Amino acid sequence: MSETADSALSTEALLQPIASVLMQTSHPGNIGSAARALKTMGLSQLRLVAPLRFPDPEAVALASGAEDILDSAQRFDTLNEALADARMVFGSSDRVRGIRMLEIEPREFARLALDAATAGPVAVLYGTERTGLTNEELELCQYLVTIPANPHYSSLNLASAVQVLSYELRIEALSRSGHAPAEALHVPAPNEQLERYFVHLEQVLELVGFFGDRSSTKIMRRLRRLYQRSMPDEREVQILRGILTETEVTIRGRRRREP
């Protein structure tokens, strides 16, 4: 597929807000191969969460000309830090361990990701080479992206998964290049604000005795899914936080007045 210089620049601009986030990568060669996959599809943002070895000569060797992606890669100690500015998070995994999630295939993922990128940063999260994404990591995602591989041999290595999803992103961006970007009709709150809300919500529910003898983990998991499906914007999160704060004030005030 050929591109003019102008359309290529437009395509790169559409893809620029999308960051690929690698969790605790064990082998530096996989980081290099992922960087190569990103560059071939015109993506530029690579974020690394607690990589075992990086920087490393093996990563450079496997990058094969994509050293600029490695040089600009951002390192984070925690996943929450890596996702703090993301308006939408997609998790790439071939399995879900007891979590109900909105599952989509790569083509729909690309459409939704490019739509979300008009509103701000978007993150695509990839798990470790051996175990993929954990339940706790999946809980930070609005969508689960599954690649419809051979059901008898469905295990893709990390760089292959990055390549497949990056290809779909590029194809979708090419179809949009040269057109005026659509105005974002809804801008979800950054992940950092939503995570602070979940912490606050759990504290207040504990304060009012909502959990009782039930597992707070299971209930909070369901509540996360509820709010992540609705994707509240910043003002809506502020309103929800305000409700929680007033609830805290009321409950604590009543308890102080009790004999």
Span 221-246, pLDDT tens digits? 999 999 998 999 999 999 999 999 99
106-117 average pLDDT score: 96
**Which pair of structure tokens corresponds to residue 82?**
């890596």
Q: What is the mean pLDDT of the chain?
A: 91
Is the pLDDT at 189 greater than 90, yes or no?
Answer: yes
Establish if 87 belongs to a structural domain: yes
87-112 average pLDDT score: 86
pLDDT tens-digit series, residues 36-72: 999 999 999 999 999 999 999 999 999 999 999 999 9
Q: In what order do the strands lie in the sheet with 143-145?
A: 74-76, 45-49, 18-23, 122-126, 88-92, 143-145, 102-104
Is the pLDDT at 7 greater than 90, yes or no?
Answer: no
User: What pTM does this model have?
Assistant: 0.88
Same domain for 74 and 117, yes or no, is: yes
Establish if 182 belongs to a structural domain: no
Same domain for 205 and 171, yes or no, is: no
Query: Last residue of a domain, which of 122, 141, 176?
Result: 176
Q: What is the pLDDT of residue 96?
A: 60
Q: Residue 243, Cβ neighbours under 10 Å: how many?
A: 12
Whole-number Å distance between alpha carbons of 158 and 61: 17
Establish if 184 belongs to a structural domain: no
Number of domains in the chain: 2
Give the CATH number of the domain where residue 240 resides: 1.10.8.590
Q: Among positive and negative, which fits the CA dihedral 111, 115, 116, 122? A: positive
Q: What is the pLDDT of residue 8?
A: 44
pLDDT tens-digit series, residues 168-188: 999 999 999 887 666 666 889
Is the pLDDT at 6 greater than 80, yes or no?
Answer: no
Same domain for 160 and 226, yes or no, is: no
Same domain for 33 and 154, yes or no, is: yes
Provide the H-helix boundaries in 76-124.
79-82, 106-117
Whole-number Å distance between alpha carbons of 251 and 6: 60
Same domain for 167 and 218, yes or no, is: no
**Which pair of structure tokens corresponds to residue 62?**
């496997």
Same domain for 51 and 128, yes or no, is: yes
199-217 average pLDDT score: 95
Contacts of 109 (CB under 8 A, 6+ apart): 90, 143, 145, 165, 168
How large is the angle between the packed helices 158-176 and 28-40, nearest 10 degrees? 20
Is the pLDDT at 200 greater than 90, yes or no?
Answer: yes
**Which pair of structure tokens corresponds to residue 162?**
């990055």
